[in-house]
Structure 1
Amino acid sequence: MASSRYHRYDGGDPLAPPVDLAEALDAIGEDVMAGYSPERAMQKFLRRGGQDHAGLDDLARRVAERRRDLLQRHHLDGTMDEVRELLEKAVLEERKQLVRDPMMDDADRAFRELRMDSLPSSPSAAVSELADYDWQSREAREAYEQIKDLLGRELLDQRFAGMKQALENATEADRRAIQEMLDDLNELLEKRTRGEDTQQDFDEFMAKHGQHFPENPQNLDELIDAMAQRAAAAQRMLSSMTPEQRAELMQLSAQAFGSPALMDQLARLDRNLMSLRPGADWAGSERFGGDEGLGLGDGTGVFQDLADLDALADQLSQSYGGARLDDVDLDKLARQLGEEAAVDARRLQELELALRRSGAIERGFDGELRLTPKAMRQLGKALLRDVAQRMSGRQGQRDLRQAGAAGDLSGATRPWAFGDTEPWDIPRTMLNGVLRRSGDPNGPLLSIEDVEVAETEARTQAAVALCVDTSFSMAMDGRWVPMKQTALALHTLIGTRFRGDDLELIGFGRHAETMRIEHLTALDARWAKGTNLHHALLLANSHFRKHPNAQPVLLIVTDGEPTSHLGPDGEVFFSYPPHPMTIALAVRELDNARRLGAQTTFFRLGEDPGLARFVDSMARRVEGCVIAPETGDLGAAVVGSYLGSRRGGGRDTSGPGSYGDFFGSRGFWVG
């Protein structure tokens, strides 16, 4: 029975297609070819992002902009500004009352006016000075009481988010309930300090006071974590104030709710939280420079936002050991930057996971990530598509029109004959049977004369040696990645379309070596003097001799003259300018390749006149071909040469429509 799986909707477009690995693999493969490790290449792509989603760097930039905006938009005097406004209102209303009250004794009026005139300029000192004042104006008294109420609600809002609004117009009974909650909370925290708390203690506390904790913690640890984060933010806000601002606030705090009892409970709470979570950031500070004032509660929220943004910046940097994109807190990201940012981050997480699970990247025995053969095939197919576009539909056919058991279908059919092994053409065979039975309804459904077979194009087998220059000049002049892309494209073409051919990849720098495609694509540029064409040709001829029945095809990509060769003792000899012995040994092996029947094509990179003279003379000697493509056209030139390697005795005409003409590369044949 079919089953369905469901999970919680986590944002984004529910109809969006799954992550596409093709773009990521193309970018990662190119960076690997440029010398990056697969791990670093993958991280680079995740940092940059794709065409339809942001990368880590863009998200980190937005986090930094959000943090900067908070600091530049706000200042920390919001509560003091509100106190000043209420104080000015109280004093103004009291003055009005003193002026219009006809029943007041003149001496009393003068005394009260003098007291109003002599109030300290400091709001906190003025509020303290008026603590025992007998207000004559009802509006003035209400404004002054609002100051004490505001301070109490702001101080509570620092530790309990939303308390400022919840306690607006609170009754005395509401305030007593808050005092009781604080007392019970401190007792519970002190039990934890002594190691005497139980889950039942927590459950009873939440049953009684749970309405004050919208985070809905499930145990005491979650409660402590949430409260410690906010209390630490409150401490950082206090540390960020100037000494004058802190002194004003401390003096005002004693007036909260008209009693110092609240401050005593909050100080006790802070001590308990600091002892239980000493690792929290209790001592940090920030510099604000904006025009929008922050109250104590809102300011604490901003400091929590700043802490969240700092954590997100660290997570998005992925710069710590063992970093994974799963570390990014998507809930925090959505709160700070919006749902779209969280969707982008989730897509990156899915992409990283898909890359690791797709079989495209694997961890070797040495613990390092590497591209798998599957990934190499995908990259090769992408490179072949690019090559096909560059070749602009020109097909260098190298097929022989001949019926045979092996090869591709030609599209033609013929009647079956004894000994044929070609596949049957079922539609034509059935049609022949139907037509025959129309004249003979009683005849058999099928007869041997009805059978037609599909003709195929048999392909001749080739032994291909691709010799690529791996000297440091290739990397220095920007030819390193195109060289690797060319090798991978040819490797993929032969592995998928011409499986009967045998490709040998040979890299030659100071010395030469045969390489697997995975080794070549991951090869780092090495500073080593020497271009050892002699050694490369020795390996190529050895490859040809192992396949005596195959057509040898020699493809040489280089940007420099031979400057090193192997001595009789196997040691490398280097000389620049090239030593005559180096040239002679390279020529000898090239002659051996010609005697083996190899069709040779040189791909000359760069404008070095000495290289041009050498390559021209070598090609003339073996009746080979010289192509000087632009770097970006190298892959198309090599693939095109391979496809046309055995047409017309191995020669292209170099006339209109030839590869040399098509690429504008000054390609020519030397006879």
Structure 2
Amino acid sequence: MTRRPDRHRSRYSRYAGGPDPLAPPVDLADALEAIGEDVMAGYSPERAMREYLRRGSRDQRGLDDLARRVQEKRQELLQRHNLDGTLQQVRELLDKAVLEERKQLARDVDLDDSDRAFREMQLENLPSSPAAAVTELASYDWQSAEAREAYEQIKDLLGRELLDQRFAGMKQALESATDEDRERINEMLGDLNDLLEKHARGEDTQVDFDEFMDKHGEFFPENPRNIDELLDAMAARSAAAQRMLNSMTPEQRNELMQLSEQAFGSPQLSEQLGRLDANLQAARPGEDWGGSADFEGEEGLGLGDGTGALQDLADLDDLAEQLAQSYQGARMDDVDLDKLARQLGDEAAVDARTLAELEKALRDTGYLKRDSTGNYRLSPKAMRQLGKALLRDVAQRLSGRQGARDIRHAGAAGELSGATREWAFGDTEPWDVTRTITNAVIRTVSDGGDTRNGVRLDIGDVEVSETEARTQACVALLVDTSFSMAMDGRWVPMKRTALALHTLIQSRFRGDHLQLIGFGRHAEVMEIEQLTALDAFWAKGTNLHHALLLANRHFRKHPNAQPVLLIVTDGEPTSHLEPNGEVYFDYPPHPLTIAYSVRELDNAGRLGAQTTFFRLGDDPGLTRFIDSMAKRVDGRVVAPELDDLGAAVVGSYLGSRGPGDRRGDGYGGWGGRGFWVDD
């Protein structure tokens, strides 16, 4: 019984319609955190992104790792192989033919003695050069069938190797070639050369190309669609074949040139291939026709395999340049993923594709923005994301070191703050009904639904009202930006601390008023973007007096809020503002500088500021000065490790605005108050 074909049979193949729609979205959290760290250390956002792509992360290989693997494979190719493979095969077949012929001469008793002697003399006096010996034996009348077969294999091998140099896979395809097969190859080469020469004169058409492919398409597995694609594919391999010849010693090159005349038993193939090389070089002069490589190994390569190895080397060199990303306008999209998969495997291509998606996402989703000068900077969106990451780290440190709990409310029984957020499991705050219903209506309409008969609530529609248990706080964070902070590795922890506190207040305590003040030789009120991008100041000076002046001005602008003064420093004050506005600097600290600083700190105390000093470093003089300053205003002193600076400052802020003993813990007594951060 004949089975009818199944017309509904399904065929499956790799998705090729663009990015994989089922692939997980790229995770930018690690990238933003690493980029933010570098930006705070003084890198430009563009350079920071480039460094992240080079390094990668814990779960993502970077460009440096891919480039290392490319270099290792290139070195392995050169160290394992040599280019003597075809010549070695010819020598072996030649030795076999001569040996079998001598055996036959010794066994053949019917052979005339003079004829035997003449033949033995011919074999004995063969030239040492394999090419010359093969040429001399072209007219030899073989007595041994095995010897004749070995000699014919030499001519067949040379023909297949020469073709394999220009047409990948031809060596295997023609292993049992007939005279008819060889004639078809000669015909194809003649038609190909005619087509290329017609193209060079500008006389060819697409019809000419289509007719050629209809007749000889089986020889071109690349399936080119036009003559330019055909030229690109063939010229790349032909140039690699030329580089292989260039890589040989003069003796090896001369041997192969002579042997090529014996390919398939006639010089016709060699002549056609020489004509083809000339046509390809004229059509694609930009290919590397003059390069070479130094193969040092013991594993011989045939002409075809050697050409493939040279193509691999060219691919690896291209990939090395693409992965280096060192040229103007470099982008991850420049990396040839197909070439990378071919050389290093699919996993490497996946790594490179992920890096490209990360780069694209960072640029296209608004995390990097160009400023008026055309340079990239971290956008407010990126700053918020980075601040959340830093705040999560602070929360873990506070929770881990003090037994604090992360709680999902900011005082459910307290006053409404006016802010709302999406409901999360465990929330106890009241629903904001207006926002919740509005979200449901908007969602229903956007999905094409009808709201005339009411709407159905979805859990994602629900928003809760945030509450606060305390009155507003007016916070001044004074951070030392003097020479010593940068010199002693405290620059980035200082910025991380400022960003974590800024993020906490902006996201959880929006009613509080935060002012960031940097003080070096003079003091300056800074926005968070300005502070995080601040380059290290190399001018000496610690103007605490000027910073306190600005902080007290901030406190006076908000008379109904609780003043909170947080001072991060690693040195005694060495400069102050003169009455005329000029900066005075002296080291060791001048008594007048100390007096001005003390006077302004007393003013902060009279305004009711809760003051905490965060002392960085173990200098005895600094310790005595900070302790005495804190004592004057009933303040606190915390000497955290650099990694704990953010937790110390945030903990002190939380303690200043929450219930409980302000002196109850090593971070200024935060009274068990917890906070949480949205992912």
So what's the TM-score if we normalise by structure 2?
A: 0.86
Closer/same/farther in 2, CA of residues 87 and 402 from structure 1, 3 Å limit: closer
Equivalent residues of 2:520, 2:543 under 8 A apart:
yes
Identity over the aligned pairs, expressed in percent? 75
Q: Is the 8 A contact 2:652 2:669 kept in 1?
A: no
Structure 2 unaligned regions, length at least 5: 1-12, 421-428, 434-464, 671-679
Q: Residue 204 of structure 2 is aligned with which of 197, 207, 210?
A: 197
- Give the structure 2 partner of residue 3 of structure 1: none
> Residue 11 of structure 1: CA displacement?
12
Whether the 8 Å contact between 1:86 and 1:147 is mirrored in structure 2 is yes
CA shift, 1:256, in A, is: 1.2
**Equivalent residue for 1:587?**
598
How far residue 406 of structure 1 moved from its aligned partner, in angstroms, is 4.4
1:152-185 per-position Cα deviation (integer Å, ceiling 9, x unaligned): 1111110111111222222222222212211221
SS at the partner of 2:139? coil
Match of residue 101 from structure 1: 108
1:121-520 equivalence runs, <5 A:
121-392=128-399, 393-394=403-404, 404-406=415-417, 458-520=469-531
1:279 maps to amino acid: G
Cα 1:625–1:173 change in 2 (3 A) is same
Residue in 2 that maps onto 1:418: none
Letter in 2 for 1:103: D
Residue type of the partner of 2:594? I
1:109-144 per-residue CA deviation (whole Å, 9 max, x = no partner) reads 011011111112221111112121111112211211
Which is higher, the Rg of structure 1 or of structure 2? 1
Structure 2 equivalent of residue 621 of structure 1: 632
Shift of 1:651: 6.9
State the distance in 1 between where 2:184 and 2:600 align. Answer: 98
Work out which of the residue numbers 557, 570, 574 in structure 2 matches 1:559: 570
- Deviations 1:390-421 (CA, angstroms, capped at 9, x unpaired): 11243799999986454899xxxxxxxxxxxx
Deviations 1:225-269 (A, max 9, x none): 111100100010001001111111111111112222222211111
Indicate the SS of the match to 2:479: strand
Shift of 1:9: 5.2
Change (3 A) 1:92 1:482: same
> Counterpart in 2 of 1:570?
581
1:638 maps to what in 2? 649
Distance 2:406 2:179 in 1: 93
SS at match of 1:633: helix
The residue correspondences of 1:32-47 to structure 2 (distance < 5 A) are 32-47=39-54
Q: Tell me, in whole angstroms, the C-alpha distance in 2 between the residues paired with 1:43 and 1:309.
A: 21
Gaps in structure 1 of 5+ consecutive residues: 1-5, 410-421, 427-453, 663-671
Counterpart of 1:510 in structure 2: which amino acid? R
> Of residues 38, 60, 65 in structure 2, which corresponds to 1:31?
38
Let me know the Cα RMSD of the aligned residues.
Answer: 2.6
Give 1:115's aligned residue: 122
Report the CA distance between 1:457 and its aligned residue.
5.1
Offset of residue 468 of structure 1: 0.3
CA deviation after TM superposition for structure 1 residue 332, in Å: 0.7
Residue in structure 2 matched with residue 438 of structure 1 by the alignment: none
Tell me what 2:550 maps to. 539
The answer to whether the Cα contact below 8 Å between 2:569 and 2:614 also exists between their aligned partners in 1 is yes
8 Å CA contact 2:164, 2:304 repeated in 1? yes
Q: What SS does the aligned partner of 1:506 have?
A: strand
Deviations 1:568-623 (A, max 9, x none): 33222211111122212212211221222211111110011221122112112222
Q: Identify the match of residue 18 of structure 1 among 7, 25, 32.
A: 25
Q: 1:638, 1:383 → 2: CA distance?
A: 13
The residue type equivalent to 2:175 in the other structure is: E
The one-letter amino acid of 1:538's match is: L
- Among 68, 85, 110, which residue is 2:92 paired with? 85
For normalisation by structure 1, the TM-score amounts to 0.87
**Pair 1:610–1:89, CA change in 2 (3 A):** same
Partner of 1:669: none
Match of 1:604 among 615, 622, 647: 615
Supply the distance in 2 between the matched residues of 1:500 and 1:661 (Cα, whole angstroms).
Answer: 22
Residues 1:406 and 1:246: Cα distance change in structure 2 (over 3 Å): closer
Does 1:659 pair with 2:670? no
Q: Deviations over 1:616-670 (max 9, x none)?
A: 121122221111111111111111111111568x97335xx443699xxxxxxxx
Question: CA contact under 8 A between 1:11 and 1:339: conserved in structure 2?
Answer: no
Offset, 1:150? 0.9
Quick one: structure 1 residues 11 and 123, their matched pair in 2 at CA, closer, same or farther if it must change by over 3 Å? farther
Rounded Cα–Cα distance in structure 2 between residues aligned with 1:211 and 1:231: 19
Counterpart contact for 1:403–1:455, Cα < 8 Å:
no
Structure 1 match to 2:451: none
1:39 Cα offset (Å): 1.3
Q: Cα–Cα, structure 1 residues 587 and 395, in superposed 2: closer, same or farther, change >3 Å? A: farther
> Which secondary structure does the structure 2 equivalent of 1:195 belong to?
coil
Conserved? CA contact 2:470–2:657, under 8 Å: no
Counterparts of 1:380 and 1:184 in 2: how far apart (Å)?
68
Could you tell me whether the CA contact under 8 Å between 1:557 and 1:604 is conserved in 2?
A: yes
Name the CA distance, whole Å, in 2 between partners of 1:11 and 1:300: 33
Contact 1:150 1:256 in 2 (8 A): yes
Distance (whole Å) between structure 2 residues aligned to residue 400 and residue 266 of structure 1: 85
Contact kept? 1:326, 1:349, Cα under 8 Å: yes
For 1:445, the equivalent position in structure 2 comes to none
Whole-Å Cα distance in 2 between the matches of residues 455 and 336 of structure 1? 56
Counterpart of 1:416 in structure 2 is none
- Contact kept? 2:661, 2:669, Cα under 8 Å: no
SS in 1 for 2:61: coil
Distance 1:52 1:504, change over 3 A: same
Using a 3 Å threshold, how does the CA distance of structure 1 residues 176 and 234 change in structure 2: closer, same or farther?
Answer: same
Contact (CA 8 Å) 1:408, 1:458: kept in 2 or not?
Answer: no
2:446 paired residue number: none
Distance (Å, rounded) in 1 between the aligned partners of 2:616 and 2:473: 25
**1:286: Cα distance to partner?**
0.7
How many equivalent residue pairs?
615
For the residue of structure 1 that corresponds to 2:225, the secondary structure is coil
- The answer to whether the Cα contact below 8 Å between 1:33 and 1:523 also exists between their aligned partners in 2 is yes
What's the CA shift string for 1:85-107, capped at 9, x where partnerless? 11111111111111111211100
Deviation by residue 1:487-543 (Cα, 9 ceiling, x = unmatched)? 011101111111110000011111111111111111121211111111111111111
1:202–1:39: structure 2 CA closer, same or farther, 3 Å change rule?
Answer: same
